[in-house]
């Protein structure tokens, strides 16, 4: 004789339902994650800044900037740093003209690197402080810019006064600049930190 199963027994033989838990990220937290990710990408994709002769970054002008060895260029820049705004004087066999641009207290220039291209990678803000560019030997002169507030890749004129670029020199402030090789590590660390903070915020 077959006995019918009671309600309690029948429950035991039911196929268990599989419950799936879906974790959805709230809209506001998703927006925070996207913002952090974009900031991380921005650290590696900085817009180029174009410097021009006599612009708001001009520290001064040296006529003519010859001789033009590393120590000579360092001396020229440091002389400009010590001049009053808008003044002109003669020293070191040159004529110096200081711009009216006020950059606040300025540190002495310390030679860092030379180059010849019109595209220059400054790395992170504050890596380099001054940029000296020589234009065609004795025919034009040397432009000096303050670049301590710039970062990433900048461009400088290929010619000035109708004369071509001979070369440039970057200077740090009192030797405190970060080497270019360390700039990439710094940017990567900043990007990972931003993503890490966003991840902790989403989990909270």
What pLDDT is attached to residue 129?
98
89, β-bridge pairs: 96
pLDDT at 187 over 60: no
Alpha-carbon distance of 191 to 41, in angstroms, equals 7
- What DSSP assignment string belongs to 136-197? TGGGSEEEEEE-TT--SEEE--SEETTEEEEEEEEEEETT-PPPHHHHHHHHHHHHHHHHHH
Average pLDDT, integer, range 143-159:
98
Average pLDDT, integer, range 78-92:
98
**For the chain, how far is it from start to end, CA to CA, in angstroms?**
61
What pLDDT is attached to residue 9?
45
Do 98 and 106 meet the contact criterion of CB atoms below 8 Å apart?
no
Do 130 and 60 meet the contact criterion of CB atoms below 8 Å apart?
no
Under DSSP, is residue 15 helix (H, G, I), strand (E, B) or coil?
coil
């Amino acid at each position: 004789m077959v006995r019918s199963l009671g309600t309690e027994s029948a429950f035991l033989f039911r196929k268990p339902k599989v419950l799936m838990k879906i974790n959805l990220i709230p809209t506001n937290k998703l927006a925070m994650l996207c913002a952090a990710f974009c900031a991380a990408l921005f650290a590696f994709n900085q817009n180029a800044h174009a410097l021009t002769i006599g612009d708001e970054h001009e520290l001064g002008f040296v006529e003519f900037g010859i001789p033009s060895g590393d120590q000579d260029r360092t001396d020229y820049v440091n002389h400009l740093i010590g001049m009053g705004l808008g003044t002109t004087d003669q020293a070191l066999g040159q004529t110096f003209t200081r711009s009216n641009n006020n950059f606040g207290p300025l540190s002495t220039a310390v030679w860092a690197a030379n180059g010849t291209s019109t595209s220059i990678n400054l790395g992170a803000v504050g890596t380099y402080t001054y940029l000296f560019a020589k234009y065609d030997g004795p025919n034009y002169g040397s432009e000096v810019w303050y670049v301590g507030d710039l970062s990433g890749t900048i461009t400088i004129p290929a010619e000035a006064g109708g004369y071509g670029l001979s070369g440039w020199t970057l200077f740090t402030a009192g030797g405190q600049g970060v080497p270019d090789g360390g700039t990439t590590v710094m940017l990567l660390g900043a990007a990972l930190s931003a993503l890490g903070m966003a991840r902790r915020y989403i989990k909270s």
